[in-house]
Amino acid sequence: MPVVVQKFGGSSVADPDRIRAVADHIARTRRRGTDVVVVVSAMGHETDDLLHLAEQVSRSRPGREMDMLITAGERKATALMCMALHDLGVGADSLTGSQAGFLTDASHTNARILEIKPHRVRQVLAEGRVPIVGGAQGVSAARDVTFLGRGGSDTTAVALAAVLDADACELYTDVSGVFSADPRVVPSARRLGTVGFDELLEMTATGCPKPAMRSVEFARRNGVTLHVRSSFTWEPGTWVREEDPSMEKAIISAVTYDTSEAKVTVQGVPDRPGIAAALFRALADLNVMVDMIVQNTSEDGRTDISFTVPCEHLDRAQQSCQDHAGDLGATRVLGDDGIAKVSLVGAGMKSHSGVSAKVFEVLASRGINIEMISTSSIRITCVVRTERLEEAVQALHDAFELERPVV
C-alpha cells in the first residue's frame, strides 16, 4: 500500500473539534487505500505556554528539563488524536519520539537527529493501525528526552517520510499553501501550485515562516516530496519538489520580507587585511548570527562595514564592535533597528537579465531608498526602512505580476 506522512501543526489540533476533524480526515485517507503515518504538534499555542510557564517558575531552566516539559505538549496531542480515531473505529497507537525510534544528539532544546529506527512505526502499520507520532522529539544516547527545536515537527514528519520511503509528506497548517507573498500584506497574493526546493529554501531564509527551513533542507537532501496544505479547507495546496530542468520556469515566484533584523555600521575602519577577520571573529565567538555584510570601497584608506543581525543580537553585536573599534582604528559604531529586508525569489532569474534593474526602478519610482543589497543566483534582497516595507512588497508583487498564474 502507498504510504503518506501527514503532519498537523498546532492550529490544526488546537481544540477538541479540530482534533476530531483531523481524525476524520485521517480515516478518509485510509479508506481511499493509503497507509497513513501521523505526526502531531502541540495543541494551539501550548509550546509557547509551556515556555512561559517555565520562565515564571525558574531562572535557570536546564535544557534537560525544558525538553521534558515542552515535548509533553506533543505527547498530549498524540494520545488525544488516537482516542478520536478509536471513536471512528480506526485503530491507532500513540508513539513518543523515542518510541518512534528518533535517536538524537544531546543538544537539549535544539537536538539533531542522528538516526531513525522506525521498527515500532512499521509494526503499527503492519497491524493495520495508524501510528501517531509526537513531533519535534527524540531520545539521546543517555536516554534523555530531547526536543528538536521550534518547528521541529515538520522535521519529524519529513524524516519519517524519508525512512519509510513515503509517497509524500503532507504538512497541514492554517494556510492553504505557499504564497507569492504574505496575503496579509498583499491581498492578491497567489497560492503557488508547485515550488522548487531551492526557491522555497531561499523564501524560508528570507522570511517565509512555513514550512520550517530545516525540514525543507532535509526534504531536499532525501528527495521527499512535500505538500503544504490547509487542514481547514482540505483543498490541494502547494507541492514542493525538485525542479524539472526541462520545464519553463516563472522568472519570479515570490516576494518575501523579514523585519527581524537590525543593522550595525562600523565607520572609518582602515582598509587593510585582517580588519574584517578580527571584527567578525569577535562576533562569531559571541554566537552573533551575521546575515548580510556590505563593505564600501575605501576612500583615503578607510571604509565602512555594515552588516545585519537578528534584532535580539543587536546590543551584543554593537558592544563587540565598540570594544574592538579602538584596536581596529574605527571611528564610530552605529546600530539601527529600523530596517527591514524585502526579497524577490525565482529560479528563472538565473537565466534572465534585467531583474535587478527592474527591482531598483520599482523601489526608486516610489522614493524608497535601498540601504543594502545582496543576491544569490535566484534571489535579490534589499534592505529598506521598516515603515516603507509593506509598500515595497506590494509594489514589487504588482510590478512582476506575481498574482498571474504561470502557464
Name the site residues for ligand ASP (rule: CB under 6 A).
10, 41-42, 47, 73, 135-136, 150-154
Report the interface residues with Mg ion, using CB under 5 A.
Answer: 9-10, 41
Query: Positive or negative CA dihedral for 126, 132, 138, 141?
Result: negative
Q: Least separation, in Å, of the C-beta of 227 and ligand ASP?
A: 17
> CA 135 to CA 246: how far, in whole Å?
36
Q: What are the angstrom distances between the C-alpha of 298 and each of 102, 156, 272, 279?
A: 52, 49, 10, 17
Q: Which does 150 bind (CB under 5 to 8 A by kind): Mg ion, ligand ASP, none?
A: ligand ASP
Backbone angles phi, psi at 84, to 5 degrees: -65, -40
| Contact (Cβ atoms closer than 8 angstroms) between residue 12 and residue 18 | yes
Nearer to ligand ASP, 73 or 131 (CB): 73
Residue nearest ligand ASP, Cβ-based:
41
CB of 16 to ligand ASP, least distance (A): 18
Residue 4 Cβ vs Mg ion, minimum distance, rounded to whole Å = 20
The nearest distance, CB 219 to Mg ion, in angstroms, is: 17
Shortest separation between residue 43's beta carbon and Mg ion, angstroms: 10
Distance CA 335, CA 266 (A): 9
Q: Which is nearer to ligand ASP, 97 or 101 (CB)?
A: 97
Residue 237 binding partner per list ligand ASP, Mg ion, none, with a CB distance cut-off of 5 to 8 Å that depends on partner kind: none
CB of 4 within 8 A of CB of 167?
A: yes
Closer Cβ to ligand ASP, 4 or 171, answer by number: 171
Kindly state the smallest distance separating residue 400's Cβ from ligand ASP, in Å.
32
CB of 152 to Mg ion, least distance (A): 8
Grid cell 544528539 is found at: 105
42 binds, among ligand ASP, Mg ion, none (CB under 5 to 8 A by kind): ligand ASP
Q: Which does 69 bind (CB under 5 to 8 A by kind): Mg ion, ligand ASP, none?
A: none
SS3 of residue 267 by DSSP: strand
Would you say 67 or 261 has its CB closer to ligand ASP? 67
Select 41 or 253, whichever has its Cβ closest to Mg ion.
Answer: 41
Choosing among ligand ASP, Mg ion, none, which partner's interface includes residue 152 (Cβ < 5 to 8 Å by kind)? Answer: ligand ASP
Closest C-alpha to 253, from 190, 305, 296:
190
Instruction: Map residue 93 onto helix, strand or coil.
Output: strand
Cβ proximity to Mg ion, 11 vs 253, nearer residue: 11
**Comparison of 76 and 302: residue with beta carbon closer to Mg ion:** 76
Cβ closer to ligand ASP: 47 or 98? 47
Which secondary-structure segment (H or E) carries 305? Answer: strand 302-310
For residue 117, give the amino acid letter.
K
Q: Minimum distance between the CB of residue 131 and ligand ASP, rounded to whole angstroms?
A: 17
In this structure, the number of other CB atoms found within 10 A of the CB of residue 185 comes to: 16
Sheet containing strand 145-147, strands side by side: 113-116, 102-104, 137-139, 145-147
- The three cell numbers locating residue 3: 504510504
Q: What is the dihedral of CA 77, 80, 81, 87, to 10 degrees?
A: 180
What are the DSSP calls for 313-329, one per residue? GHHHHHHHHHHHHHHHT
Our CB check for ligand ASP shows the closer of 120 and 150 to be 150
Buried b (16+ CB within 10 A) or exposed e, 305-324: bbbbbbeebbeebbebbeeb
- List the single partner that 135 binds among ligand ASP, Mg ion, none, CB under 5 to 8 Å by kind: ligand ASP
Q: Shortest approach of Mg ion to residue 170 CB, angstroms? A: 15
**C-alpha distances in Å from residue 313, one per residue of 257, 262, 381:** 19, 8, 21
